[in-house]
Structure 1
Amino acid sequence: MKAVVLHEYGGPEVLKYEDVADPVAGEGELLVRLSATSVNPIDYKMRSGVAKDHFPVTFPGILGRDIAGVVREVGPGVEGFEPGDKVIALGKRSYAELVVVKAQDAAKVPDGLDVVEAAALPLVTLTGEQLVTRGTAIQKGQTILISGAVGSVGRSAVWTAKKAGATVIAGVKKRQLKEAQELGADEVIALDDTSAMEKLGFVDAVADTVGGKTAEMLLGKVKQGGVFGSVLGPPANAKMHPTVQVTPVMAVPDAATLRALAEDVAAKRFVIPIDRMVPLNEAGAGQAAAEKGGIGKVLLLA
């Protein structure tokens, strides 16, 4: 098969489109012919070496977490799937024409959702959902502020919090206020507007997708006994707020939840914007575009 292979850390140009051996489905696994995968920040952070302390690459390596495609083979012991099924999953090594994934981690693509467009969903939707449900454990009637709300993870978090019955404040930049009005949050606030932030009262929880100085500021807006969930680790000033529980979140596979989120997207209850689709052999260009930021998902078509 063809795959995008990483032989060394570096810029987008180090991603090489090469022939590699076909993977084989083992016990409890599916072999999937990929329709598409997508570019996530962890991909280019691993490629560059920025994330090597926590996510080192064993060279030669294949990046990619999002799987969307058609089952080619079913491994021993697998039930509920058969060749020809369209599936999505959070897995690994998805910058390739063929990928193996645990059957328990895969969900069938719901009717009404294009399998290619479904590639945008696994990592960002599960991260946003788990940031809210596991990171903040928000309850009905509580108030949660979600930073970076117009991003893909943020959008998923807003939708999850609304489904939980929480009062949701979408935190964005001033220039994103109009776009954020379409998210369905109860309130929208500009995190880079000093006067607006000074007027903001205490909240039960913050779901942070931004980090840095913004996260440090928002930690001070969580009431005593509240929770600060983050996909970027604890804010630098976490020790100054000992009464706030800080919970780091890293997405894990959850097929049932992924299926439910995919059904919500298929029903247009919330949207994960797709900016562009590029061939898998142009993964470097796709990563370069995504790394600049400010755009929707970049899909890689296998």
Structure 2
Amino acid sequence: MKRVSFAEFGGPDVLQLIDAEEPHAGPGQIRVAVRAAGVNPVDWRIREGQFRNVRPIALPAGVGQDASGVVDEVGEGVDGVAVGDRVFGRGSGTYAEFAVLSAWARMPVGLTFEEAAGYPSVVETALRIIRQVDVRPGQTLLVSGASGGVGSAVLQIARDRGITVIGTAGAANQDYLRSLGALPATYGEGWVERVRRLGHVDAALDLAGSGVIRELLELTGDPQKVISIADLGAPELGARYSGVTGNVPEALAEATDLISRGQLHIPVEKTYPLTEAAAAHIDSQAGHTRGRRVVVV
């Protein structure tokens, strides 16, 4: 099968499309014929070696953790899913023709494979950090870098829970934030005052890692109410860093419910073939995404 792989840590140029042995589902797992794989910032952070001291991996390694596809192998002890089912979920080495998933759910009716591949990690992350920052209905949450995949999910989940959201993004994405129910503000010089004019901030999330932790601490007045998923140095400034995956099956179940009720939709901004995985990483790392980027198999 074809698989995107890297044999050394480095820039996008270390990614190669190779012929590899097909993986097989072990106990508690399924294998899918991949139709699409979500592109997440963690993919290129792993490729660069940012986590090698805390989460060592053996090289060469595959790339990607989110996928949608058709089940073609069911591991021992797995029930409730059968060969031929259309699923989306999380596993490893998903930029490939076949991938093994350790958490999955049936795709909601009406969702395309490209759309479905964009949900698993971003919804799990969004649910986890909303819970960790302990923002309640009626309170106001500030989301820095709100137009990407996680931001899109946070805004809609918060809206569904009765939480007011102020979102910062580039000028081109202000209407997009409004469409998701947020009060938008542009970043850049003077952004803190623009946020203050929109209301009191009870909690804040940094999704872009753009060096705003001090300002978020100033706006909330409480280090326990500031969480970053993108700035590894956040704890040095007193805020919290959230990087440990939570309950993925539970997150997929909640995503399915939200999608089915019409309360969650994350658009796909751009798709890439397996041969252009490096371009997908370059674009992801550049930021300014509206929704999701997806590798199509």
Name the TM-score, length of structure 2 as normaliser. 0.88
Q: Secondary structure at the match of 1:17?
A: strand
CA distance in 1: counterparts of 2:208 and 2:173, whole angstroms: 14
Is 2:233 aligned against 1:238? no
CA distance in 2: counterparts of 1:86 and 1:115, whole angstroms: 9
1:187-240, Cα deviation, whole Å (9 max, x unpaired):
22334352424546542211221334312201111145861122134636634x
Q: Secondary structure at the match of 2:124?
A: helix
2:97 is aligned to 97
Residues 1-302 of structure 1 aligned to structure 2 (within 5 Å)? 1-102=1-102, 105-133=103-131, 135-185=132-182, 187-194=183-190, 195-197=193-195, 199=197, 202-224=200-222, 227-232=225-230, 233=232, 235=234, 238-239=237-238, 246=240, 248-265=242-259, 268-296=262-290, 297-302=292-297
Deviation at 1:34, TM superposition (A): 0.8
Does the 8 Å CA contact 2:108/2:259 hold for their aligned counterparts? no
Does the 8 Å CA contact 1:138/1:164 hold for their aligned counterparts? no
Name the TM-score, length of structure 1 as normaliser. 0.87
Structure 1 pair 280/174, CA: closer, same or farther in 2 (3 Å)?
Answer: closer
Deviation at 1:71, TM superposition (A): 0.7
Identity %: 31
Deviation at 1:111, TM superposition (A): 0.7
Does the 8 Å CA contact 2:160/2:263 hold for their aligned counterparts? no
Q: Secondary structure at the match of 1:168?
A: strand
Aligned-residue CA RMSD (Å): 2.4
Deviation at 1:256, TM superposition (A): 3.3
CA distance in 2: counterparts of 1:32 and 1:175, whole angstroms: 37
Letter paired with 2:286: K
Structure 1 pair 119/191, CA: closer, same or farther in 2 (3 Å)?
Answer: same
CA distance in 1: counterparts of 2:285 and 2:63, whole angstroms: 15
Aligned length: 293
CA distance in 1: counterparts of 2:272 and 2:242, whole angstroms: 33
Q: Secondary structure at the match of 2:113?
A: coil
